[in-house]
A and B are shown apart, each in its own frame.
Chain A
Amino acid sequence: MSFGSRARRHPSFVLGALLTALFAGAALLSLVWTPWPAAEIDIPNKLATPSAAHWLGTDSLGRDIGSQLLVGARTSILVGVVAVLIGLVAGMLLGALASARRGWVEEAVMRLSDFTFAFPALLSAIMLGAIYGPGLMTGIVAIGIFNIPVFARTTRAAANTVWAREYVLAARAAGAGPWRITLDHVLPNIASILIVQATVQFATAIIAEAALSYLGLGTQPPTPSWGRMLNEAQTQMFQAPQLAIYPGVAIALAVLGLNLMGDGLRDLLDPKLARRR
């Protein structure tokens, strides 16, 4: 069966892909259209309940909630993509290096990534925020740094199994050097594992971005962000509890979609594992 037809029969992959498409679609739509300008303040209309004009109502400054959610999706994707790319590129290089060189290089890379695990993205963001001030970049860099050891470990573990294969031995016998083998054999064979990991890390990055923005360490006003919307909603909890619902649902659906899609991809790209589970 082709990948496409197997994918269509995998319920969690289909659900995950649909949610992810919705999430990406919202971000793309916000580039060309939002019901209202997302940052437009309209005090007379503050805390409006859902209506034809404002589908999800307005916040304490009269800003349209729906428009803010759409633009917030864009912020989440921007932070997620850049942070995952930082982790993927640096982690893949380190992991491939560790696997190709083995010995003390591998030991050093692994100890380094063990060590980085003791610094969750939040602690990096706290330090960076204390020095450079909070902001979008602070969040991206902090989450990106945290992703490096994740990808370094995944790459190394997967690459080590490829290095043990006969075709690699054949390539070595034919005189190929470690970098040629890494490029021609190792990376193409572990690409699917890295894609799955990237999907899952993307989901983690969205939660991390929301948490940092909620704390005021991430995206700054006037850029809409789901995390900051929740922070602002908390101050209005007694007057307008609904404000605390929408952004949270948006985060949860986006994360759920990516996680389901990641799980589905893992099953689809590695049928052996799927049968065992």
Chain B
Amino acid sequence: MTLFLLKRLLTFVLTLWVASVVVFAVLELLPGNAAMMILGDTATTESIAIVEKKLGLDQPPLRRYVAWVGGLLRGHTAQSISYDTPTGELIAERLQVTLPLAALSMALTVVVALAAGIYAASRHNRLGDVGVMAASQLGIAIPSFWFAILLILLFAVQLQWFSAGGFPGWSEDDGGGLWEGLQALLLPAVALAVVQASVLARWTRSAVLEVMREDFVRTARAKGLSRRAALWGHVLRNAMIPVLTIMGLQFAFLISGTVVVEQVFVLPGVGRLVFQAIANRDLVVVRDVVLLLVAMVVIVNFIVDLLYAVVDPRLKSSDA
């Protein structure tokens, strides 16, 4: 068990490190000079030199990389070029929208997908199963940002129950509040969850069906357990392992989905931050946001690895 955890921890740290090298190297590949790109063609030599110094471009790449990662490890982030504040502060502010949105849609996804997937498996090849499968096939085909637009058309334009976008903030001083904030995140979360839940429901269904064919389930049924008791007592726990894997992989799509849906609903999250940064040629912000998003994906998959050990006690002894 300890060895299993240590191995996973090592992979986790290595992955994060490689990710930082890749992000740094890709943005380093920049043709020409970053300072020139930020300032445009009309910039004077003096202003380019000033920006270069500000960005630390007068230093060799390795030293800049070490300064960047060293700063991150000590909790210091570089100054954003366009905002003139540390990127850490900017990102922390935007995460107050992005994290609750991702969490809300993940929660919706899991609830809907597990319910639909287990229901479909228990009605295998009957009308309920066919219905869930058809609906999920449709859910997968609909791009989340288009579904988001449809939700706005229905609930904001036609029914006028929700606003078409924007975020009032969590604090009542800003004219927002907990309820107002949640209300603004509800439609975006639903839009994100529809696609994710469709994918996950299909996996849940096939994982449950797979386990239901196992000998130990037949034994449990032969012992006199009802179908329902066998399902809840034996099947689900075993079916959770592949489902957890898919959830981990889905998180990467959820993160990119969040970035897109934030644009649709004009939510001030990290997605909008990075698009404004691209428009402003603020490479410092792009670099730190991309690394943060990759890190979130890696961290979630690390947690999934840890959850395997909880769900499947066999891993504790055998895979060590």
Contacts and interface: CB of A to CB of B under 8 A. Distances in A.
A259 B157 contact: no
A130 B283 contact: yes
A207 interface: yes
Interface string B9-38: 000000100110011001101110000000
Contacts of B119: none
A186 interface: no
Nearest to A128: B26
B83 interface: no
B137 A211 contact: no
Interface string B132-171: 0000011011110110011011000100000010000000
A210 interface: yes
Interface footprint category on A:
35 or more
Nearest to A253: B141
B293 interface: yes
Given A115-B15, A121-B256, A256-B141, A238 B157 contact: yes
Interface string A211-253: 1001111000000000000100110011001001001100111
Interface majority SS on A: helix, strand, loop or mixed? helix
A103 B114 CA distance: 38
B26 A131 contact: yes
B16 to A, nearest CB: 9
Contacts of B256: 120-123, 211
29 contacts: A115-B19, A117-B252, A118-B301, A120-B255, A120-B256, A122-B256, A126-B274, A126-B278, A126-B290, A127-B23, A127-B26, A127-B290, A128-B26, A130-B277, A131-B29, A131-B31, A132-B31, A214-B145, A216-B275, A234-B264, A237-B149, A237-B164, A244-B149, A248-B142, A248-B146, A251-B142, A255-B143, A256-B141, A259-B141
Interface of A: 114-115, 117-123, 126-132, 134, 203, 207, 210-211, 214-217, 230, 233-234, 237-238, 241, 244, 247-248, 251-253, 255-256, 259-260, 277
Given A234-B152, A248-B149, A252-B146, 9 more contacts: A115-B18, A117-B249, A118-B298, A122-B260, A127-B23, A130-B278, A134-B278, A215-B263, A256-B137
